[in-house]
Structure 1
């Protein structure tokens, strides 16, 4: 007796038979020689413990008659069993056919439910895609609005900087104008004061010395022939000197 363990056999029986070779060695009769071959190599060899008797004995007539009677009785019992089995199989066949019809109906119902579920899943997927598109659109619009807001804020900051610079320039100009105004006021006050002092000095001179007469401009123009060059006699500290008539 030869036993060949292939790769497929090992994959098939490895989950429920721990060792096929050991099981075969135990189950094989002792008059058989067992050769275990795995992957093209002989793993183990168990020779036969005894040899079978090759001589055959002639059957006796008594035993032959008994065998014939036993065979007739067995044939009759087999026929009865077959008849009874056929009678029993008929209701089983009807029950199996009804069960098959019921299973078919259930399968059809399940398939219809599955188709409905597939349609609902497809519609739900479409809705999800539409919502995702809307979401992406909202995100894009939000990004654009954010960029516009940032640009507006940057422009506002630039305008603030310009406004601060203008305010500082205006303040500087105002300070310069105030200084110039103060300087002019001071100069005017000084000139006015000097004029008043000069006037007081002239008045004091005219009031103190009776030898000098005060002339008006018309009298001077008439005496000098309107400041004619022929009347000019020289230059003084206060201007040209004319001779009156």
Structure 2
């Protein structure tokens, strides 16, 4: 389904083409260059709050643990207390070997790449940058390169703001109006918002929250989904 794929793409933030930033205003170009690619041997620890519609869960990630043991359910206390809409999310987190096989079929977090503002995230800003005020810009967004992304791309617009410290504070990608990416589907509303912040001692800004809201009609059914990820108690260890 398009609405599930869009939310997954938002979390993974994988862009196939690197944008040319030489023509961007200097504050924006500098902010988009504040990236860091963590080495494979580095690991993260953080708490993640996941909210889907009216259901939520809190989990803890520890990248120093073996695959399959990196995620711990904090609240509710056991899987039996999870709302049905979150059961698949929790199971996916604990099945790393199935991640590639099931890509696009649900919500997933690429924990190995961590939370740093990365070049892939910067490439969401694909061009047509316009300054709309002090440290505020609009842009043409790019969320990916497959068929479904191509169908939605032309209907999207982007907004970006910079923090006083100079890093990217927020990226917002949204559809200004309802559109039909395919003959059998209509997207009534789409919005993705990503927030970033700096933590003392870390080499780049980190993602602190990501939310996606989408309202779609397809196959004679209307479906609405709101997904939010919030990250706290973040620790990063690099050898």
Q: When the two structures are superposed, what TM-score results if normalisation uses the length of structure 1?
A: 0.14
Select the structure that is richer in strand.
2
The structure with more helix, counted as a fraction of residues = 1
Point out the structure with max Rg over C-alpha: 1
Q: What TM-score comes out, normalization by structure 2 length?
A: 0.14
Higher relative contact order (CA 8 A, sep 6+): 2
